[in-house]
Amino acid sequence: MYDMIHEIYPKLFRDSRLLTNAKRKSVDRADVVLAISQSTKNDLIDLFNIDPSKVIVSPLGYTLNLSDFTYAHAKPYILIVGARSGYKNFQFFLNALRHVKQEHEIDVICFGGPAFSVCENKIISEIESARKTKIIYKNGSDELLHGLYRGCEFMVFPSNYEGFGFPPLDAIAHRKLPIVCNRSAMPEVTAKFGLYFDYQDNDSLVNAIEQAIANPRIRGEENEIQLHLNKYSWQRCAEVTLEAYRI
Q: What was the pLDDT predicted at 66?
A: 65
Residues 6 or more apart whose CB falls under 8 angstroms from that of 46 comprise none
Rounded distance, CA 85 to CA 117, Å? 10
Q: Mean pLDDT across the chain, nearest whole number?
A: 95
Render 187-219 in DSSP notation, one character per residue: HHHHGGGSEEE-TT-HHHHHHHHHHHHH--SPS
Rg of the chain in Å (alpha carbons): 19
Q: What was the pLDDT predicted at 64?
A: 74
Residue type at 53 in one-letter notation = S
Helices (H), the chain: 5-8, 16-29, 38-48, 90-98, 118-130, 142-151, 166-173, 186-190, 202-214, 222-230, 234-246
Vertex 178, ends 139 and 118: CA angle to 5°?
A: 40
Q: What is the CB-side half-sphere exposure of residue 25 using CA atoms within 13 A?
A: 6
3-state secondary structure 94-123: HHHHHCCCCCCCCEEEEECCCCCCHHHHHH
Of 99, 100, 208, nearest to 155 (Cα)?
208
Beta bridge pairs of residue 196: 180
Count of Cβ atoms closer than 10 Å to residue 88 Cβ: 19
Vertex 93, ends 87 and 98: CA angle to 5°?
A: 150
Q: What was the pLDDT predicted at 104?
A: 81
Strand order in the sheet with 154-157: 135-138, 107-111, 77-81, 154-157, 178-181, 195-197
Give the chain's domains with CATH numbers: 5-61+234-246 (no CATH), 77-227 (3.40.50.2000)
pLDDT in tens, the chain (247 residues): 999 999 999 998 989 999 999 999 999 999 999 999 999 999 999 999 999 999 999 999 988 776 789 999 999 999 999 999 999 999 999 999 999 998 888 999 999 999 999 999 999 999 999 999 999 999 999 999 999 999 999 999 999 999 999 999 999 999 999 999 999 999 999 999 999 999 899 999 999 999 999 999 999 999 999 999 999 999 999 999 999 999 8
Vertex 71, ends 66 and 76: CA angle to 5°?
A: 130
